[in-house]
Amino acid sequence: MSQLESSEQEQTVDSPSSEHVGAELNVPDHDRPVDDPGVEEHIPRLSDVDQAAADRAARQVMTMFALVPVTAVLFILVYYLVPRDATIDFGPMHASAMHLGLGLTLGIGVLLIGLGTQQWARQLMSNHEITEERHPSSSPDDAKTEVLQQLDVGIAESGVPRRKMLIISALGAVGILVAPALALLTDLGPVATGKYRRKAYETTLWKEGVRLVNDITYAPINVKDVVIGQLVNGAPENLQELHGTEFNNEKAKAPIVIVRMNPADIKIPADRKDWQVGGILAYSKICTHVGCPISLWEQQTHHLLCPCHQSTFDLADAGKVVFGPAARALPQLPIKVDDDGFLVARSDFTVPPGPSFFERDSRRDLGQSEEYR
């Protein structure tokens, strides 16, 4: 017989049987590390000996469950009635009134369900101690039957069959929490029709005659104040007329960078020759990759570098991408000079600024079509 066969025989003989189902381990009392403490004397609860107390606890549970629909309705009312820009002051701090209201109503609703469940378990469900003896690890059929029987006993002891209003109120409290979720679904946003897209994110405050101003001081930018190699962060002058959410939305779409370089270095297409003034060019400040604001200016190469993912744009060559993940050139803002020597826009951007989106027609990027204006 080979050594391999001999080894297999030894393993077969020495290894435990695969059919072994285990057995209880009986340890002599003198070998136990501590004495068996046993089970403490059971002290019945008030609800176990006083039916009035049990009924009172049931009413408390149902009351908490009944208040959950109230919090759900309040959640929906807050969502639709409280202004989005309303705030509540707490001394030096302030919070959004809507966010605070939504958090309180939904949080109290969930808290009531938790407290009601705890009160149900502590006051109404079975409260006797059980000692679980060790048993073999196998699960014979009679054990499975026993589990099902215990499940039936647990359901009976939970009070559900006798107190149907408890389960009805619990299911109602949990089910009503679907209502706030449905309310949130109604605000997923309007259908992105062409008209909505133009108003929401394809057009900006820029239009013919709008002055270019410093984005910090809002001072208008004079041609003679911009020197070769300089970069100025700009914004439309009419941005100052807006407030709140509208101000933030428009400010996010309209920022620009204004640079000046030697006119001989500019290589923009022929149809853009009148989009610059004496070597001064204006481009969107929003990266076309994922929308980061960019103003890292390399004077010698005329490159603008995005700090997020290192997309690099050549501002001397129509803002084309020379490196990085951005797929489109920076939109250029056509500019001119007004009678007072200040820089003004000729029109809005000819393509939507910012990163790409599903409905965006990229064909407009190629020819800078006048039709888009």
Each residue's pLDDT tens digit, 335-352: 999 999 999 999 999 888
Within 8 A by CB and 6+ apart from 71, the residues are 105, 106, 108, 109, 112
Distance CA 45, CA 40 (A): 15
What is the pTM assigned to this prediction? 0.53
Q: Which pLDDT does position 17 carry in this prediction?
A: 42
The CA-atom distances, in angstroms, between 168 and each of 65, 160, 173, 241, 247 are: 9, 9, 9, 56, 49
3-state secondary structure of 12: helix
CA 39 to chain centroid, in Å, comes to 50
Q: Is the pLDDT of residue 105 over 50?
A: yes
The CA-atom distances, in angstroms, between 295 and each of 112, 147, 258, 313, 337 are: 52, 69, 10, 11, 23
Q: Which pLDDT does position 68 carry in this prediction?
A: 94
Each residue's pLDDT tens digit, 239-270: 999 988 889 989 999 999 999 999 999 988 88
Please indicate whether residue 8 or residue 247 has the higher confidence score (pLDDT): 247
Each residue's pLDDT tens digit, 262-278: 999 998 888 888 899 99
Distance CA 223, CA 265 (A): 18
Distance CA 304, CA 217 (A): 23
The number of C-alpha atoms within 13 Å of 1 and in the hemisphere containing its C-beta is 8
Average pLDDT for 149-155? 84
Least Cα distance to 113 among 172, 53, 181, 182 occurs for: 172
Q: Is the pLDDT of residue 134 over 70?
A: no
Within 8 A by CB and 6+ apart from 104, the residues are none
Q: In the numeric block, which tokens belong to residue 39?
A: 């089970």
Q: Which pLDDT does position 210 carry in this prediction?
A: 94
Sign of CA dihedral 317, 322, 327, 330: negative
Q: In the numeric block, which tokens belong to residue 59?
A: 């009413």
Phi, psi angle pair for 355, to nearest 5°? -70, 170
**29 pLDDT tier (thresholds 50, 70, 90):** low
Distance CA 41, CA 38 (A): 9
Q: What is the chain's Cα-based Rg? A: 37
Q: In the numeric block, which tokens belong to residue 139?
A: 């699960």
Q: Which pLDDT does position 170 carry in this prediction?
A: 83
Residue 230 burial (C-beta neighbours within 10 Å; 0-12, 13-18, 19+): middle
Question: Could you give the percent of the chain with pLDDT greater than 90?
Answer: 46
Residue 330 is given by DSSP the state: P
Q: Which pLDDT does position 369 carry in this prediction?
A: 40
Residue 323 is given by DSSP the state: E
The residue ranges of every structural domain in the chain are 45-127+143-188, 196-357
Each residue's pLDDT tens digit, 218-237: 999 999 999 999 999 999 99
Q: Which pLDDT does position 22 carry in this prediction?
A: 46
Q: Which pLDDT does position 27 carry in this prediction?
A: 55
Lowest mean pLDDT across 151-155, 285-289, 292-296? 151-155
**119 pLDDT tier (thresholds 50, 70, 90):** very high
Please indicate whether residue 29 or residue 62 has the higher confidence score (pLDDT): 62
End-to-end C-alpha distance for the chain, whole angstroms? 93
Q: In the numeric block, which tokens belong to residue 335?
A: 């500019």
Q: Which pLDDT does position 363 carry in this prediction?
A: 61
Total Cβ atoms within 10 A of residue 255: 21
3-state secondary structure of 68: helix
Average pLDDT for 180-205? 79
Q: Is the pLDDT of residue 302 over 90?
A: yes
Distance CA 307, CA 357 (A): 21
3-state secondary structure of 322: strand
The DSSP bridge partners found for residue 335 are 345
- Please provide the average confidence, as pLDDT, over all residues in the chain: 83
Torsion from C-alpha of 226, 232, 237, 238, nearest 10 degrees: 160
Distance CA 350, CA 203 (A): 9
Please indicate whether residue 63 or residue 364 has the higher confidence score (pLDDT): 63
**25 pLDDT tier (thresholds 50, 70, 90):** low
Please indicate whether residue 191 or residue 227 has the higher confidence score (pLDDT): 227
The CA-atom distances, in angstroms, between 24 and each of 29, 130, 133 are: 15, 19, 9
Q: Which pLDDT does position 201 carry in this prediction?
A: 77
Distance CA 231, CA 243 (A): 27
Average pLDDT for 84-111? 88
**115 pLDDT tier (thresholds 50, 70, 90):** very high
Lowest mean pLDDT across 113-127, 174-188, 207-221, 351-365? 351-365
Distance CA 123, CA 166 (A): 13
Average pLDDT for 104-127? 92
Average pLDDT for 211-217? 93
Q: Is the pLDDT of residue 238 over 90?
A: yes
**CATH class entry, domain 196-357:** mainly beta
Q: Is the pLDDT of residue 104 over 80?
A: yes
